[in-house]
Amino acid sequence: MAENEYVPLFETRQVKGRILFRCIAASILLGICFIVTYRIRYFPVGGKAERWTWIGLFLSELWFSFYWLLTTVCRWNAVIRIPFIHRLSQRFGKELPGIDIFVCTADPLLEPPSMVVNTVLSMMAYDYPPEKLSVYLSDDGGSNLTFYAMLEAANFSKTWLPFCKKFKVEPMSPEAYFRTASEPLNVQEWPSVK
């Protein structure tokens, strides 16, 4: 790939079901027009209370119609942007900013240490330059159980993180990976796991 060649970082696609959405929006707009026509044509001439009620209803309907119009215009030509993550690191490489990720926990009974460890390990396995990625654990409860679980996770991460990078493991959480691994590991992968 040439240095000066522009490669897009994302692809823009139109959302499916736009025609159905536009038909529904057109029918709602037609209904709003009928309501406005009705309010204008049949404005009450007798009774002051009826007139003020009618005006209040009409103004509220105009306000909600305006709100509906604004939200519909925003969704009229909806698109999805699909990023090409590998191109981001190719284009910006050394210029990527540093990222700090904070994982908070308080109670080892409500948030089991295994869940906290899996969260921290999956964050550390992100496809991002390791020198620019910092993961912090804030244990507000000061649990010894969480502390010792993180010590074990630190030892396990020396094996797990290179394994994730080498074999492009998805999902990167150890618990989710071993739960979904229905096929036994290849013979070539076994020494890496050991």
Binding site per annotation, positions for UDP-alpha-D-glucose: 111, 140
Binding site, residues?
111, 140
Q: Please name the residues in contact with 97: beta carbons below 8 A apart, sequence gap of 6 or more.
A: 132
| Whole-number Å distance between alpha carbons of 172 and 128 | 13
- Contacts of residue 145, Cβ cutoff 8 Å, sequence gap at least 6: 108, 113
Q: What distance in Å separates the CA atoms of residue 160 and residue 169, rounded to the nearest whole number?
A: 10
Task: Quote helix, strand, coil % in the chain, to nearest 5.
Answer: 60, 10, 30
Q: How many CB atoms lie within 10 A of CB 125?
A: 24
At position 92, the amino acid (one-letter code) is F
SS3 at position 86: helix
d(CA 57, CA 36): 11
Tokens of 165: 């990078």
Q: Which residues pair with 11 in a beta bridge?
A: 82
